[in-house]
Structure 1
């Protein structure tokens, strides 16, 4: 059960799709860039970019990461939870859910810094049988994970390990990886992602 699950449906998806569409249009306008050029730069099909700009797509987190990297911004910039000068309060109702699992799991981007050198804070909740897979982030990306409840099965390339409740892990996630709710009850973990522009 290794299905690709896209961004959540409903209000979050609509707001995120509109923000991504506006970001792409603004970026292409500022750079005087065609869809073909952005497609090559981001490694995303022109057809998908057309759908995103028309707000008809439901892009995955991996696709959001690719586009943010190509535009030199963070995912937090796109979904408006990036830091502002001095301090920026993000109200609970403004925290976007960027992934929903088949059994009700969620991944919420709690906060993040602006720009290509970014740090993001995530909250993940997963239920038994749910899995999230990623093709890998840009070179040097690092994640800090802490399991608050349950057990996380973390796979990085060919290597797997279980991170139990109360334990933490540090992982280089510039290679294919996945998070899975290990057997038993629900899983809840926090994750900080650090990505530096090369």
Structure 2
């Protein structure tokens, strides 16, 4: 089973992440050293990201957000939320290193709702490993919901393997490593919701 490396952001997203990382880190009173200890991301890498000197991978963003105890999309704030149709073509797509795994965030976590909504695509014969992500509150842990729009997904999580086909859905604890595998004959398309209890 081949596993893709983490994804990367375009420079536009990199600039947004850079600005928000510094803002949130300082608001929490964390030094780069402290955040490095909490996230497992090196101090040098954090410094490069804050200075927009490197494009952070998807999994690096998850690790930083876990260290900051914020949702994934907290580092992507700056996108305008209005009541209108959201076109996929207007969203900054995030990709894995070789482009086989792609996600588009239609709705980031915000004070108005405690979830993130993504569309995910995974090419035929490809897989992607998420390092795990969470946001814990007094009400409990986060949950990930996934619904297959087209294709077949083999999901490996918590020692279990689930095979989901078109129109199938499941939910799971995303706090540990989980693997998405395209086990179908075409591009896999799915909707993913990360829910955060408040």
Q: TM-score w.r.t. structure 2 length?
A: 0.82
How far 1:52 moved relative to its partner? 0.6
Kindly indicate whether residue 161 of structure 2 is the aligned counterpart of residue 160 of structure 1: yes
Alpha-carbon distance in structure 2 between the residues aligned to 1:125 and 1:179: 10
How far 1:67 moved relative to its partner? 2.0
Return closer, same or farther for 1:91/1:30 CA change in 2, 3 Å cut-off.
Answer: same
The residue aligned with 1:119 is 115
Kindly indicate whether residue 105 of structure 2 is the aligned counterpart of residue 109 of structure 1: yes
Mean Cα deviation higher: 19-28 or 118-127: 19-28
The residue aligned with 2:189 is 188
Alpha-carbon distance in structure 2 between the residues aligned to 1:166 and 1:101: 28
- C-alpha contact (below 8 Å) 2:36/2:46 kept by paired residues: yes
- C-alpha contact (below 8 Å) 1:81/1:112 kept by paired residues: no
Match of 2:59 among 46, 58, 62: 62
Mean Cα deviation higher: 180-189 or 21-30: 21-30
The residue aligned with 1:6 is 7
Secondary structure in 1 aligned to 2:54? coil
Return closer, same or farther for 1:56/1:185 CA change in 2, 3 Å cut-off.
Answer: same
Alpha-carbon distance in structure 2 between the residues aligned to 1:90 and 1:51: 35
Return closer, same or farther for 1:42/1:104 CA change in 2, 3 Å cut-off.
Answer: closer
How far 1:168 moved relative to its partner? 1.1
Alpha-carbon distance in structure 2 between the residues aligned to 1:90 and 1:162: 32
Instruction: State the superposition RMSD in angstroms.
Output: 2.6
Match of 2:131 among 132, 135, 140: 135
- C-alpha contact (below 8 Å) 1:42/1:70 kept by paired residues: yes
Q: TM-score w.r.t. structure 1 length?
A: 0.82
The residue aligned with 2:174 is 173
How far 1:42 moved relative to its partner? 2.5
Q: Figure out how many residues of one structure are paired with residues of the other and give that number.
A: 190
Secondary structure in 2 aligned to 1:76? helix
Return closer, same or farther for 1:33/1:158 CA change in 2, 3 Å cut-off.
Answer: closer
